[in-house]
Structure 1
């Protein structure tokens, strides 16, 4: 199973767009999606403060600011999801 971690924050319009792209890319796949508000974690906020939304696949950064559905779908397929 692939783990997709979606780093976000409240009132982030790019995050709303990314959430839709992620939902489309993971539909029907064996993917565990964890959504984390970076403002609830000082380390994440310090590391990714200006880069949200961020998508991590199995802990590795895949994208930030904008999520391309096709690119994410290909990456998930390459990981076996």
Structure 2
């Protein structure tokens, strides 16, 4: 099964606002949903630290910053062949 990764950090209001909707979109697409706190991994901090939340599917950054759950759903519909 493929995975949708949600890069976040504690106290991120943008992250908290969309995480549940993105998780629901992942589930509807049959994907595992994984949340990763960028502050817990020094290697991720320079990559995603100022960009959170960041939604990644495979190697594709689906959305970041002010994540739009509708945009994530549209991407997943195309990527995994949903109607």
**TM-score scaled by length of structure 1:** 0.86
Matched-pair contact (CA < 8 Å) for 1:8–1:15: yes
Structure 1 unaligned spans of 5+:
none
Matched-pair contact (CA < 8 Å) for 2:54–2:64: yes
**Does structure 1 residue 76 correspond to structure 2 residue 76?**
yes
Which structure has the higher relative contact order (CA within 8 Å, separation 6+)? 1
Number of aligned positions between the proteins: 81
* TM-superposed deviation, 1:23: 2.8
Poorly superposed stretches of 4+, deviation over 3 Å: none
Matched-pair contact (CA < 8 Å) for 1:5–1:59: no
Change (3 A) 1:79 1:2: farther
- Partners in 2 of 1:75 and 1:27 — Cα distance? 14
Structure 2 unaligned spans of 5+:
none
- Partners in 1 of 2:33 and 2:27 — Cα distance? 11
- Partners in 2 of 1:38 and 1:45 — Cα distance? 5
